[in-house]
Amino acid sequence: MRFLTPDQVRQIDQQAGSPVFVYSELELEQAAKALLAFPNLFGLVVRYAMKACPERAILQLLDRLGLCIDASSGYEVHRALAAGIKPEKIQLTCQELPADIIEPVLLGVRLNACSLHQLQVYGQLLEQHGIDPKAECRNVSIRVNPGLGSGHCNRTNTGGPSSSFGIWHEYLDQAIEIAKKYGLTINRLHTHIGSGSDPEVWVKVAEMSLAIAERLPDVTVLNLGGGFKVGRVPSEKTTDLQVCGEAVKTAFDQFAKKTGRKLWLEIEPGTYVVAAAGSIVTRVIDVVDTNPEASGYVIVKTDSGMTENTRPALYGAQHPVVVVPDSPDEDGGEMIEQLFVGHCCESGDTITPAPGNPEAIASRLTLKAKIGYYVVVEFAGAYCEAMNCAGYNSFPAAASVLIRKDGTILLIRKRQTQEQLWQNEIGLPSAA
């Protein structure tokens, strides 16, 4: 296992039950340090895309390590503020402009307008509230779709003509006119390509973005949004930050020599920060077979699934799975091919989809599972806890723990109770 030992798995189950999300402080720190060393010439800000995993303890830990926050909704802004993140360290980049946007921006939260409509509405709201023409909140960022994107599938690609994210690059003049009309200064530029590991795509987008920045004389910061790919299984490639960054740094240097403007660089990773730092500890609740000797399978059922991790069902995402005996006396044993599925009454609730095909399921060679054994799903720190189907089949949300660098296990989120699932339901009036 990447950061757990069999003894820790058993200890975590004793303390927090199963299923449970497990995060590693050491892994988070190492990822943060690697990102803060991203090559740059004139200054760097690393914004953690908190949608990847918005746990309060993780936000606080990353804040202490020097990362800022990228929020994807007004609700995430308030969640970050509630965690103690300073407003000026938060930037909001959203599809839905919150109705109370004035409140957080007056505190210091930065707005990244993602459409012409958002930019106009924001200008109108500042006007309606009589905000001082020299107020800091009149400095805005705009997100521009440069016309190119990247990702392992269309669902992770956030650039190009089929993407709804950002102002289409050919409409830049309209954005400039809106900003001028409402006394806004566009001093930050944001682009977002999606999730990928190809340095050539990053460099191409950087060059396209810098060409846009050249038309915005007040821009001092270029945010090259986009997730850095993390290889969860051997067939996947992890982005080499240094290779990617050096190429981007060259583009910034050429821009400075051409224009005399030394732009700060912002990056906003989510997956790269937390993916490898999280695992899900589950228990084997049943083992069935469909006559494996006649082209069938051995199928391992766990007490987890899409209620903790929807990525396999959504994307056909691959996660390492490790079988751990429930007793140290049984460590080791026979290795066999097995399928792994979740506990939901749903045919799509699979843990081991076939590579490149979320419609199919594929076996994995692991220790032979027995009822009561553990199954550890690794690389589950990003877009698992944050993007799950907890509540489906009325399963409550799992607890979370953090393994500190000294080895202690800290509960950072309680398991949801059954009553909390339906506490907001009102129901029908009593019968007469």
Burial tier of 41 (Cβ tally within 10 Å: 0-12, 13-18, 19+): middle
The helix-helix angle for 241-259 and 199-213 (nearest 10°) equals 20
Alpha-carbon distance of 6 to 302, in angstroms, equals 17
Q: Write out residues in the chain with pLDDT < 70, as ranges.
A: 148-162, 193-197, 432
Alpha-carbon distance of 202 to 223, in angstroms, equals 12
CA geometry: angle 81, 192, 271, nearest 5 deg: 60
The pair of structure tokens assigned to 388 is 């799950």
Task: Pick left, alpha or beta for residue 79 (phi over 0 → left; psi -120 to 50 → alpha; otherwise beta).
Answer: alpha
Q: What is the pLDDT of residue 157?
A: 38
Alpha-carbon distance of 42 to 31, in angstroms, equals 22
User: Cis peptide before 396, with omega less than 30 degrees from 0?
Assistant: no
Alpha-carbon distance of 254 to 297, in angstroms, equals 57
What's the pLDDT tens digit per position in 14-55?
999 999 999 999 999 999 999 999 999 999 999 999 999 999
Alpha-carbon distance of 201 to 111, in angstroms, equals 26
Alpha-carbon distance of 306 to 313, in angstroms, equals 8
Q: What is the pLDDT of residue 156?
A: 38
Instruction: Tell me the CATH class for 54-269.
Output: alpha beta
Alpha-carbon distance of 43 to 40, in angstroms, equals 6
The DSSP code for 85 is: -
Q: What is the pLDDT of residue 206?
A: 87
Nearest residue to 217 (alpha-carbon basis) of 267, 169, 171, 261: 261
Cβ contacts of 250-259, under 8 Å, gap ≥ 24: 250/203, 251/203, 251/206, 251/207, 251/210, 252/40, 252/41, 252/42, 252/206, 252/210, 252/222, 253/41, 255/210, 255/213, 255/214, 256/41, 256/42, 258/214, 259/214
Fold of the domain spanning 277-413: Lyase, Ornithine Decarboxylase; Chain A, domain 1 (2.40.37)
Nearest residue to 302 (alpha-carbon basis) of 280, 320, 276, 269: 280
Alpha-carbon distance of 65 to 67, in angstroms, equals 6
Tell me the CA distances in angstroms from 218 to 140, 176, 267, 303, 355, one per residue in order: 10, 11, 20, 54, 46
The DSSP code for 51 is: G
Q: What are phi and psi of 89, to 5 degrees?
A: -95, 5
Q: Measured in whole angstroms, how far is the alpha carbon of residue 195 from the centre of its chain? A: 10
Q: What is the pLDDT of residue 162?
A: 65
Q: Which amino acid is at 19?
A: P
What's the pLDDT tens digit per position in 72-99?
999 999 999 999 999 999 999 999 999 9
Q: What is the pLDDT of residue 185?
A: 98
What's the pLDDT tens digit per position in 187-216?
999 998 655 657 788 788 888 999 999 999
Q: What are phi and psi of 42, to 5 degrees?
A: -120, 0
DSSP per-residue codes, 252-321: HHHHHHHHS---EEEE--SHHHHGGGEEEEEEEEEEEES-GGGT--EEEEES-STTT--HHHHH-----E
Q: What is the pLDDT of residue 333?
A: 84
Q: What are phi and psi of 333, to 5 degrees?
A: 140, -165
Please, which residues bridge with residue 111 across strands?
A: 92
Q: What is the pLDDT of residue 202?
A: 79
Burial tier of 260 (Cβ tally within 10 Å: 0-12, 13-18, 19+): exposed
Provide the residue ranges of all domains of the chain, joining segments of one domain with +: 54-269, 277-413
